[in-house]
Amino acid sequence: MEQVLTIIRDDMANIRHTKDPGTVRRTKRDDKSHPPTPITVAYGDGIGPEIMDATLRVLDAAGGSVDVETIEIGEAVYARGVTSGIEPSSWESLRRTRVFLKAPITTPQGGGFKSLNVTVRKTLGLFANVRPCPSYAPFIATKHPAMNVVIVRENEEDLYAGIEHRQTDEVVQCLKLYSRPGCERIVRYAFEYASRYGRSKVTCFTKDNIMKVTDGLFHKVFDEVAEEYPGIEHEHWIVDIGAAKLADTPELFDVIVLPNLYGDILSDVSAQIAGSVGLAGSANIGHDVSMFEAIHGSAPRRAGQDAANPSGLMLAAVQMLVHIGQGDAAALMHNAWLRTIEDGVHTYDIYDPSVSVEKVGTRAFADAVIERLGEKPSRLQPVAYAVSTDPIRIDVPVREPQDKDLVGVDVFLDFRGAPDDLGAQLEKHASDLRLVMISNRGQKVYPSGQAETICTDHWRCRFQSPDGGVVTTEQILALLGRLAAAGMPFIKTEGLFNFDGAPGYSLGQGQ
C-alpha cells in the first residue's frame, strides 16, 4: 500500500504536491517573494479533506510558497492495523520537511488504538501548544468582546505520560510526571512568545498549594525565568480561581502558560468563550518539527456536505506561515479571513441572522476569503506579521545535578483492616528503620489518625532512619524482605530523596 498520496490540483499554482517526497518538484509564481518551503500535509478524516482543500487554496492565493508532501493518517491507517494511526514511513516526511499541516482525524472506538496526536507530539518533541483565542465580537457572539488570550500549554508531560496502574482491588493510579527541563522549556517559550509578539503579561496557573513538588516545580521555574524578562509583567494564580477568573473576565489575561492537563482544559474553555472552538487553530512547536492544526475534530456527521467551517485550519495555516518566515502571506491570509468574518460571510456553525449576511459552505467561504485578499478588516483589529523571522528557539541551559541522598522509603501495601492494626504489624518489622507514618489516599491515619477518615485498601507506609539521616538500599531491601515474609508484599515503593539537603517528596499530611 502506497503511503504517500499524490494529489495534483491545477488551480493551486504555487503548491506542488508530490508523489515521491524525496524528489520534490517546485514551481514558483512570479508574485512569490519566498522560495517554496517543504511542508507535510495530511488530509485526515471526516471533514478533513474539505477544510484542507479550502485552506490550501487560500494559502496559495495569498502567496504562501510551499512544496507539499502528502501523507496518509487516521482511519484508513488504523484499519490496516497500525495502532498509532500513522505509517512508519510518514515519519521520514515529517523529519524531512519539519513542518506538518494536519487536518483532524477520526479516532477509532474501542481499545488498542493510540492517540495519533499524543504519539506525534511526544515522538517529535512538540513541547509547546500555542492557541490564540481572540474575540471576533460583534461578528461572532461572545460575552467577552475584549478578550485576546493566548494559551501556551505544555504538551508532553504531566498525567499525559499515560503511566497508569490498578494497584489494589479498589485503587488505580496515574503518574504525574514533570521534568525541570520540560517546565523550563515551556515557560521560556511563553516569555519568548510574549516578547516576540508584543504581549505585556504572562500568567502561570498551577495547583502548587496542594501539589507542592510537581506544580511547585512549575511555579518555581516560572518565577525564575520571569526574572530574565523584566519588561514583561508576570503573575501566578492557583488554577481553580485562575480558571474562574479566566472564564469570567478573560480580558484581564494576555499570555497564559500552563501544565498539560490544565492547559488542555482551559485552552478549550478559552476558545469557546472567545466565540467557538470551531474557529481556533493551534501550533504544536518542537525544536525540529512543528505541527499546525485546527482544534476541533473530524465532525464525521458533516463530512462530504461542503458545510464545515475551515476557519480553524486556516488560522493554523496562518500560524504555520509565520513559523516558516512567510509573515507577509500570513498577514494577507489572516486579514482577508477577518474581513470575511466582518462582512458576515459565515458557515452554518457561526451563522447568526442578527450579524450574518450570507450563509455559505466550505468552498464558498474559501472563495470569499480569496476575494478579500489584500483587504483589511475595518472594525476588527488587522494583523501584521514580520516577514522572515526565525521560529522561536528555546535552549534550556544544562544544569549541574544536585546532591541526592536516600533518606527513607514509602512502601505501598494492599491491606484490608484498620490503620492501627496495620501500624501495629508494621512496627514489628521496622527493625533498624522507623515507621514514620501511614497514610491512606494521602491522609495520615497512623499514628494518631481520626476515626472519621474513610480508608481504602491502598496504604502508604513511610519508613526512615530513627535519626532522620541517610539510609542504605540494603536497609530498604531487608525491610521489604521482612514484610514479604510476614505476608505483606509491597505493591510498589518510592524512594525518599533529599536534593542538596531539601526533601524531594511530599510530607504526606493530606490537604
Q: Does 107 bind ligand NAD (CB under 6 A)?
A: yes
Q: Which residues within the stretch 115-144 sit at the binding site for ligand NAD (CB under 6 A)?
A: 117
| Bridge partner residues of 173 (DSSP) | 165
Binding mask 332-351 for ligand NAD (x = CB under 6 A): -----------------x--
| Chain residue whose CB lies nearest ligand NAD | 297
The yes or no reply on residue 308 touching ligand NAD (CB under 6 A) is: yes
290 binds ligand NAD (CB under 6 A): no
Q: How far is the CB of 261 from ligand NAD (least distance, A)?
A: 16
CA dihedral sign of residues 190, 221, 259, 396: positive
Give the 3-state secondary structure of residue 63.
coil
Return d(Cα 97, Cα 291) in angstroms, integer: 11
Q: Is 296 in the site for ligand NAD (CB under 6 A)?
A: yes
* Min CB(103)–ligand NAD separation in Å: 8
Indicate the residue among 297 and 504 with the shorter CB distance to ligand NAD.
Answer: 297
281 binds ligand NAD (CB under 6 A): no
Contacts with ligand NAD by CB under 6 A: the residue count is 20
Q: What is the DSSP string of 332-396?
A: HHHHHHHHHHHTTEE-GGG--TTT-SEE--HHHHHHHHHHTTT---SSSPP----TTPPPP---P
Torsion of the alpha carbons at 401, 404, 409 and 410, rounded to the nearest 10: -30
The least distance separating ligand NAD from the CB of residue 105, rounded to whole angstroms, comes to 4
Task: Find out whether 221 and 181 touch, Cβ atoms under 8 Å.
Answer: no
Among 21, 64, 275, 278, binds ligand NAD (CB under 6 A): 278
Among 144, 302, 376, 458, the residue binding ligand NAD under the rule CB under 6 A is: 302
Q: Rank residues 294 and 411 by Cβ distance to ligand NAD and give the closer one.
A: 294
- Torsion, CA 232, CA 237, CA 239, CA 243, rounded to 10: -80
- Beta carbon nearer to ligand NAD, 63 or 74: 74
Q: Is 315 a binder of ligand NAD (CB under 6 A)?
A: no
Q: Cβ(321)–Cβ(52) under 8 Å?
A: no
| Residue 153 is a binding residue for ligand NAD (CB under 6 A) | no
- Contact with ligand NAD (CB under 6 A): which of 309, 326, 440, 498? 309
- Check whether the bond before 138 is cis (ω within 30° of 0): yes
Shortest Cβ distance from residue 107 to ligand NAD (Å)?
Answer: 3
Phi, psi angle pair for 465, to nearest 5°: -75, 150
Q: Of 298, 356, 443, 498, which one interacts with ligand NAD (CB under 6 A)?
A: 298
Q: Is 299 in the site for ligand NAD (CB under 6 A)?
A: yes
Q: Interacting stretch for ligand NAD, rule CB under 6 A, among 84-92, 105-113, 138-146, 450-458?
A: 105-113
How far is Cα 147 from Cα 399, in angstroms, rounded to an integer? 38
Is residue 272 within the footprint of ligand NAD (CB under 6 A)? no
One character per residue 3-42, x = contact with ligand NAD (rule: CB under 6 A)? ----------------------------------------
Q: Which of 39, 58, 68, 105 binds ligand NAD (CB under 6 A)?
A: 105
DSSP class per residue in 406-447: EEEEEEEEE--S-HHHHHHHHHHH-TTSEEEEEEETTEEEET
Residues 45-64 that bind ligand NAD (CB under 6 A): 47, 51
For residue 412, give the nearest of 463, 446, 465, 453 by alpha carbon: 463
Of 14, 65, 84, 106, the one binding ligand NAD (CB under 6 A) is 106
Which one among 293, 342, 343, 367 touches ligand NAD, defined by CB under 6 A?
293
Three-state secondary structure call for residue 297: coil
For residue 334, give every residue at least 6 positions away whose Cβ sits within 8 Å of its Cβ, in sequence order, or none.
Answer: 315, 318, 383, 385
The candidate with the shortest Cα–Cα distance to 310, out of 268, 264, 368, 377, is 368
User: Is the bond into 447 cis (omega within 30 degrees of 0)?
Assistant: yes
Amino acid identity, position 344 = G
Place of cell 523550563: 184
Q: Which is nearer to ligand NAD, 41 or 436 (CB)?
A: 41
What's the min distance (Å) between Cβ of 312 and ligand NAD? 6
For the CB of residue 430, give the shortest distance to ligand NAD in the complex, in Å.
50
Binding residue for ligand NAD, selected from 216, 297, 503, 508, defined by CB under 6 A: 297
Residue located via cell numbers 517554496: 36
Q: How far is the CB of 133 from ligand NAD (least distance, A)?
A: 16
Q: Which stretch binds ligand NAD (CB under 6 A): 139-147, 241-249, 290-298, 479-487?
A: 290-298
Compute, in degrees rounded to 10, the torsion defined by CA atoms 118, 123, 127, 131. -40
Under DSSP, the state recorded for 285 is E
Name the residue nearer to ligand NAD (CB basis): 335 or 362: 362
The site for ligand NAD (CB under 6 A) is made up of: 47, 51, 104-107, 117, 278, 293, 296-302, 308-309, 312, 349
